Amino acid sequence: MVALCVGLALGVGGMLPVAAVAAPTQASMVALPDFTPIVKQYGPAVVNISTTETKVARSAGSPFPPNSPLNQFFAPFFGAPGQPGSDQGEGAAPGHKYQVQSLGSGFIVSPDGYIVTAAHVVKGAQKIIVSLTNHHQYKAHLVGLSTRMDVALLKIDANNLPTVQIGDSGKLEVGQWVLAVGSPFGFENSVTQGVVSATARPLPDDPYIPFIQTDVPINPGNSGGPLFNMRGQVIGINDQIYTNSGGYMGLSFSIPINVAMDAVKQLKLHQKVHFGWLGVMIQDVSMDLAKSFHMKEPIGALVSQVVPDGPAAKAGLRPGDVIVSFDGHAIYNSGQLPPMVGALPAGYKAKLGIIRDGKPMILNIVVESLPGDMDKAADKTAAPDVQTQKGEIKRLHIEVGPLTAEARKQLNVNTGVLVLGVAPGVAAEAGIRPGDVILQVAQQPVNNVSTLQKLVASLPAGQPVPVLVRRGDGSFYIVLSLPH
């Protein structure tokens, strides 16, 4: 038995068999990342944040469906119907106050207890508790927050705390490995990894944030936690996900740390976070819009509304202008402009490259500070009651009427024609609704029903025509292509 084993080991003539000879290894083209040094060194600076908020009862039980994976996690915070803590528990009537607990993450940026997190993690909380990896807990004080930037600064009474290292998100490139540390679903100090999918990604509800898009698994509880690069530096704050179910589906978005720390500096000084402002409403240029504005390519940011007496109005910008460059930087879509302008100080002078009536122009503009009353307003889309002086635009299959005093006040417009009814046809297909106000057709102002009728009657068939529409608090362009 022993001899057989020796023979197998040595092979014929004492030589090792071919199968036992180690083949030369081929070097990997890309080295596999090892995240353990980052976790060991900077993991202790990542904290768990739990908040308590008092709310008023509105409906019964958890807001998530029974078969949702989030229901099991959040149901204890809401209570089941008929149980203590639920909106319809014993003695709980509409208007009954109850407490809701939420979880999030954050990271320590200074040894004396300053902590950065996402604003939505702590907004409205009456009590904020910060838990460290050594299981020490502290009651946190909210220094300040910016809802628009979704950044908050906390302070705990402690010293000699571990801290993270702040990196430069401006050097981040698509394809780089990144690491998230946080408390998804309350599981503290969980580590997930992925790669950068895109940088400077605009999102509709957060135009001032040039998000970092990754495929790092992020779930409820990760919000406010750090996103590390392979140097162990924080380059983002994990903020939100794209999801149809409430859970992670492969797309995660983080606030660039350069943007966040600018806000943190202002919050630490108890200042309101500043945003540069041009005073315009913009939209992307589709292929149809590009054709209707006599442009060769669908690029730039189309100006659909100009705030009276704002920086853009003072510079001479008009609805229908297309911004194609700002301060020497090309603008390919509307999402590029807000974060670029928002980062600038008030008084900054820039050159605005535009296309007007198919011709390039340069305007000089001075950036101002975003006014405090420019926060998101409630959507106002109800159609005012107009009963007189109606008119029918047969080519568009719509019924229109003049603006009443009520309509002017509700929609904040002084000119235009109110859409009273929409039948199946070209206008309905373009998205025009009852309650909309038509402000321009083919870049010509519409002041009354008669003007609109004449403009529409003179339009050529089969060609795209830009129409400026007011809906609620905003204006935007649509394209009509009239039939023959």
Which residues carry out catalysis? 120, 150, 223
Those residues with Cβ within 8 angstroms of residue 6's Cβ, 6 or more apart along the chain or in another chain: none
- Give the residue from 163, 235, 154 showing the smallest Cα distance to 196: 235
SS3 string, 217-247, reads CCCCCCCCCEEECCCCEEEEEEEEECCCCCC
8 Å CB contact between 442 and 453: no
User: What's the rounded Cα separation, in Å, for the pair 208 and 453?
Assistant: 40
The two tokens of residue 283 are 């939209």
User: What's the rounded Cα separation, in Å, for the pair 253 and 69?
Assistant: 21
- Give the residue from 251, 273, 308 showing the smallest Cα distance to 146: 273
The two tokens of residue 290 are 């590009």
Strands 349-356 and 359-366, sheet pairing: antiparallel
User: What's the rounded Cα separation, in Å, for the pair 478 and 442?
Assistant: 11
Secondary structure (DSSP) of 160-193 = S----EE--GGG--TT-EEEEEE-GGG-TTEEEE
- Residue 172 exposed, middle or buried by CB count within 10 Å (0-12, 13-18, 19+): buried
8 Å CB contact between 113 and 132: no
Residue 19 three-state SS: helix
